[in-house]
C-alpha cells in the first residue's frame, strides 16, 4: 500500500504556533517586558476608545498580549491589557483637557482631543509629574500646525499663555532684590535677574481677555450642572455658546504671581522691551536705552515713567539677583 507523504495539513497543524511567553528571569528581561507593555500603553486608542487590534507590524494585538499577560475566566489577555491602555489615555487626556481650556475653546473640543492624542503619541510624558505634561505642546504645534488651522497664531499664543500659567503657579521664587542691595552699584554696571516663575509674552491676540471669558463660561456651565432649580437654563444651550474669538491685537503680557496668587499684567511695549533686556542679562542702563531707541512715542517723560515702572516691578517682587 502506498503511503502518503506526511503533510502539515493535519487538524492540529493548522493552528498557528503558540506565541512564546516572555520570561522574567533577570533585570534585562524585566526591562524587555516593561518596554513592550509601555509601548502598548502609549499607543492611542481607536475612535471607539478601545485598544488597537493590531500591533505596529500589523500582527494581532491579542497574540502580543498573550505573550506576557494571563487571561482569566472573565477577561482575555487583550482585555486586561486594554484596561491599562484606556486608563493611561483617559488620565493624560483629562490632564491636558484641564490645563488648556483656552486652546480647547479655540480649536473645539473634538479637535482638541485629537491634537492632544497626537501630541502625547509623539511626545509621551518625560516627567514624574503631570504638571509638566504640556511642556512640549508649543513645540509640537509648531511642528504640526495642521492641528490648529486656521487659527495657528491665536492657538500658539494661547498655548504659550497657558503654559506660562503653569510656570507662574509653582516655579521657584528667588530672594528679591531690595534698593539697599543695589545702592552702591553704578547704573552702567547694574544687572538684575527676573524671577524664574515670571514669563514675558509678546502676543498677537488678546488671549488674556479671551481666557477669562472662557473660564467664566465654564464656571457658569458647572454652576448650571450643580443647580436643581427648574428654571436653570438647558445645558445643551449653554454648552453651545463659545466666546467670540479675539481679534488681532498686539499685547505685551507678564504672567507672574504675587502673594502666591497667579496674575497676568499687560505692560507698555517699552516696559516689555526693558524687562526682556534685563532677562537677557543686559545692564539696566543698556536695557533701557535699547528699549527706548525703538520706542514709537518720542517726547514722553521717560525718566519719570521708568522710575515708576521699576518701583512697581520691585514692589511686585519681580527682580532677583542676576546670574551673571
Partner 1 sequence: MPANRYNGFTEYGIGIGLRVPHYRHILAKKPVVDWFEIISENFMVDGGRPLEVLDQILEQYRVVQHGVAMYFGSADRLNREHLKKLKRLVKRTNTPWLTDHLCWGSVDGRYTHDLLPMPYTFAAARATADNIREARDFLEVPICVENVSSYAEFHASEMTEWEFLSEVVELADCGILLDVNNIYVSSKNHSFDPYEYLKNVPHHRVGQIHIAGHSKFEKYILDTHDHPVLDPVWKMYAHAIKLLGKTATLLEWDDRIPTFDEVHHEALKANKFVEKQFETAAA
Catalog residues that contact partner 1 under the rule CB under 8 A.
21-31, 33-35, 37-38, 41-42, 67-70, 72-75, 77, 79-81, 83-84, 87-88, 91-92, 124-131, 168-173, 196-197, 257, 260-261
- Whole-number Cα distances in Å, 236 to 20, 230, 232, 239: 52, 15, 12, 5
Give the shortest CB-50-to-partner 1 separation in angstroms.
Answer: 15
Nearer to partner 1, 160 or 257 (CB): 257
Nearer to partner 1, 67 or 266 (CB): 67
Residues β-bridged to residue 199: 255
Nearer to partner 1, 33 or 213 (CB): 33
Nearer to partner 1, 78 or 310 (CB): 78
Q: Which of 294, 258, 248 is nearest to 173 (CA)?
A: 258
Residues β-bridged to residue 253: 201, 266
Give the shortest CB-196-to-partner 1 separation in angstroms.
Answer: 7
Give the shortest CB-323-to-partner 1 separation in angstroms.
Answer: 15
Instruction: Give the separation between CA 148 and CA 152, rounded to whole angstroms.
Output: 5
224, 233 in Cβ contact below 8 A? yes
Give the shortest CB-40-to-partner 1 separation in angstroms.
Answer: 10
Q: Name the pairing type of β-strands 319-321 and 248-258.
A: unpaired
Give the shortest CB-303-to-partner 1 separation in angstroms.
Answer: 34
Contacts of 103 (CB under 8 A, 6+ apart): 112, 148, 155, 158, 159, 162
Nearer to partner 1, 240 or 323 (CB): 323
Nearer to partner 1, 67 or 242 (CB): 67
Sign of the four-CA dihedral 69, 43, 117, 113:
negative
Give the shortest CB-313-to-partner 1 separation in angstroms.
Answer: 18
Amino acid at each position: 500500500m502506498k503511503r502518503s507523504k506526511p503533510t502539515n495539513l493535519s487538524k492540529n497543524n493548522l493552528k498557528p504556533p503558540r506565541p512564546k511567553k516572555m520570561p522574567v528571569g533577570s533585570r534585562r528581561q524585566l526591562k524587555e517586558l516593561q518596554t513592550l507593555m509601555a509601548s502598548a500603553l502609549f499607543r492611542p486608542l481607536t475612535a471607539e476608545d478601545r485598544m488597537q487590534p493590531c500591533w505596529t507590524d500589523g500582527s494581532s494585538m491579542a497574540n502580543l498580549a498573550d505573550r506576557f499577560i494571563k487571561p482569566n475566566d472573565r477577561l482575555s489577555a487583550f482585555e486586561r491589557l486594554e484596561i491599562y491602555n484606556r486608563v493611561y489615555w483617559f488620565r493624560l487626556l483629562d490632564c491636558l483637557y484641564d490645563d488648556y481650556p483656552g486652546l480647547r475653546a479655540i480649536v473645539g473640543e473634538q479637535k482638541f482631543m485629537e491634537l492632544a492624542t497626537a501630541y502625547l503619541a509623539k511626545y509621551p510624558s518625560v516627567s514624574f509629574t503631570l504638571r509638566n505634561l504640556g511642556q512640549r505642546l508649543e513645540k509640537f504645534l509648531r511642528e504640526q500646525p495642521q492641528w490648529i488651522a486656521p487659527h495657528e497664531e491665536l492657538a500658539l499664543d494661547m498655548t504659550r499663555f497657558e503654559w506660562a500659567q503653569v510656570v507662574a503657579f509653582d516655579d521657584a521664587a528667588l530672594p528679591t532684590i531690595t534698593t539697599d542691595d543695589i545702592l552702591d552699584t553704578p547704573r552702567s554696571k547694574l544687572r538684575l535677574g527676573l524671577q524664574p516663575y515670571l514669563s514675558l509674552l509678546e502676543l498677537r491676540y488678546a488671549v488674556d481677555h479671551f481666557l477669562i471669558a472662557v473660564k467664566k463660561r465654564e464656571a457658569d456651565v458647572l454652576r448650571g450642572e450643580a443647580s436643581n432649580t427648574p428654571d436653570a437654563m438647558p445645558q445643551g444651550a449653554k454648552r453651545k455658546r463659545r466666546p467670540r474669538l479675539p481679534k488681532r491685537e498686539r499685547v505685551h503680557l507678564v504672567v507672574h504671581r504675587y502673594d502666591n496668587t497667579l496674575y497676568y499684567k499687560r505692560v507698555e511695549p517699552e516696559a516689555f522691551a526693558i524687562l526682556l533686556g534685563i532677562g537677557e542679562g543686559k545692564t539696566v542702563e543698556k536695557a533701557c536705552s535699547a528699549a527706548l531707541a525703538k520706542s514709537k512715542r518720542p517726547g514722553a517723560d521717560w525718566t519719570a515713567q521708568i522710575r515708576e515702572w521699576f518701583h512697581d516691578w520691585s514692589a511686585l517682587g519681580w527682580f532677583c539677583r542676576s546670574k551673571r
